[in-house]
Structures are given as C-alpha cells and as structure tokens.
Chains A and B, each alone.
Chain A
Amino acid sequence: MNDKKIIIAGLLVFIAIILFPFWYGLLKAAPAPELKLTEKAKAAKECVRPTEYMKAEHMQLLDEWRHSVVRNAKRVYVNQSGKEFNISLSNTCLDCHSNKADFCDKCHNYASVDPYCWDCHIDNPKEKK
C-alpha cells in the first residue's frame, strides 16, 4: 500500500481524461440555434401537431407519412383538432417552412445530422425563379 498516493493521482488524471468531452463541452458548448419562422408559418400559429411534439418527433411523423402515402395510398392527415392536411413533405411542410437554410439546416447542423430528404424532395415548391 505504499503506492496509494500515486494510484489515486493516476486515477484522478485518468478520470479527467475520460470525462474530457463533458467538461470541454461545458466550457465551450455552442448555444442552441434559434429558429426563424416564415411569415406564413407564424400566421398559421400551430403546425400539424404541437410545436414541442414537432421539435422532438418530426422525423417519426415524416416516417409515418411516407409509409402511409407510398404503401397505403392514404394522403390525408387529420390532427387532434380535426384539421386536415395533405400528406406531403414538399407541398405541405416545406410550403410553410420555405426557409430551409434558417429552419431545417440550422438545427440539423447543430445536432450534426445530415438527412438526405432534399436529394429528391424539392425544398421550396412555390419559390419563383
């Protein structure tokens, strides 16, 4: 037990290194991005589902939508307040959220995710060239 001091000091250094991402992040974490809404989205007030749900679960919703359109040919979504929506990423979602750079990309970049939706889906269907 003569090496007690060395072992404890070594352990502390080891733990500090292992936890590097955490304490480094605490000092330098980038602030969460603030989303800009288009005028149209602001006027609509609520998305197809409440904002909190959309923030956390929009990918699951889109997955469900894709399945229902492609596999079951069902294209009308009725939300909790009974409002009907045409199920379409380009023609419904991105019609309101036509500011891809300020809306989609900001958060996706922050979370370091790279969805490939826009390889096929056109990002701003009503934009005039």
Chain B
Amino acid sequence: MKSSRRRFLQIAGISALGLGAKPVYDAFAKEEHGDKPEIQILKNDKALIAKQWAMVIDTRKLESTEALDPIINACHKIHNVPTKLEDKRHEVKWIWEEGYHHAFPGKANRFLDEKVENTPFLVLCNHCENPPCCRACPTGATFKRESDGIVLMDFHRCIGCRFCMAACPFGSRSFNFRDPRPFIEETNKEFPTRMKGVVEKCNFCAERLAIGKMPACVEASNGAIAFGDLYDPESEVRKLLKTNYTIRRKQGLGTEPSVYYIV
C-alpha cells in the first residue's frame, strides 16, 4: 500500500486523539470508583418544614402595649436588634406596634369602634408570597426561600442601596445608618449582629425553625400568635383561618402577606 501524505496525517490525528482520551477516561473512572466517604451537607433532623410559613395574630388576646412588649423584647433580644438608638430616623425594627389606622390604612373607617381604635397591632415583615422587595434587590441579597417561603436576607450581599425599603409597602425593613453594635442592649453571642450600611428585617426566626423551635415571638405570646404551614390544611394556622374572620395588611396591593390578624 502506497502511503500518501494525507493517509499519514489521518493516522497521526487519530492516534493523537486516542492518546489524549486515555487520561481523561482514567480521571472519570477514578472519580466513579472513589471509595472515600462523601462530604455531605444536611438538614437538621429536628428542623420544622413547611411550604409557606404563615402567622395568625389574635389581637383579641393582645389588647395593650404591656401585652406586646415582652413579645417585641424577646425578638429584639435574641436577634441583637439595636434598641438603644435614640434618633427615631435611625431606628431598627423587626417587630413593633402600630395603630389600626397605620397598620390597615385601606380598612380604616372615619368612625371606628373604640376597641379597634385603641388596640395596638403587632406588625412585622409579612413574608409575602409575592414579595416586591425581592424584585427590587439588585444583588439578590434578599430572596424568597423556595423551601419554606421565608423572605430572607443574605447580609453578606447587601450593598445598602435601600431599594427594598422603598419597595416594601409595610415599612418592614430598617437600614443601619450607624454601626449597630454599641446600641445593642444585651448581645446574644450565638447570633451575629449586623454592620453599618446593610438593611435588616424579621427573618421569621429561620435559625430557630432550623433546629426545631418555634419563632421567639410565638413562644413569648402565650398562645396569642399561631404559626404554621399555610398550605397544610391540618396546620394550626389553617384551623384558625377556617374558624375566624381575619384581615391582612394592604391586601389590595397583591403581595399576598402571610401574616393574618384576627380582629
């Protein structure tokens, strides 16, 4: 057989391909048969899970500021919320009290019954099913967690642009205009603080749910606040929603808040 230049190049090319493929094949084979135990990242066994966490606040059981204070303090204490800031414009709030007119502006009649008029309402992040804050965030620092519907913050990514604060119709977000550390009354060392220049808000106690505990405000409320899965018909919140007339804040905006109020 006469070997032409073309024939020679063809054989050389195929041989080179074969030689080159061998190490790649070996690498794959090695990976498949590696007998080292694998590194895993798992959920805690005790973690509470839900499709969409929701809260029902029974305002009939929380009629005065004195009743709300321990709940607010419990939250602010475990999350290192700076409460000693005197300038109202620098205030950082996770959960706080609000009058009916401010909490439910669309539902406030000119003449209200005295009871509703004088009841302080507990307000917090509504963990909306359609959260406008997450759409506004340019860095993905705030997001709606697929696994349980909590609207969470990744403080590492927050650049402090405050678009989310402008987008939130409930004023649930606060900006750290100052380094919060000197203004924390009593530091809970197991939870991080925040730094100057980030936005913060209620996290539905994601860190407690992960180890099987109910949120701090629910625990401190003596049964006035119920917490559970909105999409589980057997959950405590669904049972309460079935048997009580409830309202939500600014429902007309279509953000689908997950915090319900029994009035």
Contact = CB atoms under 8 A, between A and B. Distances in A.
A73 B41 contact: no
B155 interface: yes
B192 A78 contact: no
B210 to A, nearest CB: 5
Nearest to B80: A122
A71 B211 CA distance: 16
Contact of A125 (B189, B195, B206): B189
B147 A122 contact: no
B43 interface: yes
A19 B210 CA distance: 54
A78 B36 CA distance: 13
Contact of B206 (A73, A76, A79, A127): A73
A76 B195 contact: no
Given A66-B156, A70-B152, A73-B148, A78 B41 contact: yes
Nearest to A77: B41
Residue of A64, A66, A73, A75 with most partner-chain B CB within 10 A:
A73
A120 B147 contact: no
Contact of A71 (B37, B154, B210): B154
Residue of A66, A91, A121, A122 with most partner-chain B CB within 10 A:
A122
Residue of B36, B37, B39, B47 with most partner-chain A CB within 10 A:
B39
Given A66-B156, A126-B189, A76 B42 contact: yes
B3 interface: no
A116 B179 CA distance: 13
The SS class assigned to the B binding surface is loop
Interface string A101-129: 00000000000000010011110111100
A38 B155 CA distance: 30
Interface in B158-196: 187, 189-190, 192-195
B104 interface: no
The size bracket of the interface on A is 20 to 34
B44 interface: yes
The SS class assigned to the A binding surface is loop
Given A120-B155, A120-B195, A122-B187, A75 B43 contact: yes
A87 interface: yes
A79 B39 contact: yes
A116 B197 CA distance: 13
Interface string A73-89: 11111111110000100
A2 interface: no
A62 to B, nearest CB: 10
Contacts of B40: 77-78
Interface in B68-117: none
Given A71-B145, A72-B147, A82-B37, A120 B192 contact: yes
B42 A74 contact: yes
B159 to A, nearest CB: 13
Given A76-B43, A79-B39, A81-B37, A121 B143 contact: no
Interface in B16-50: 36-44, 47
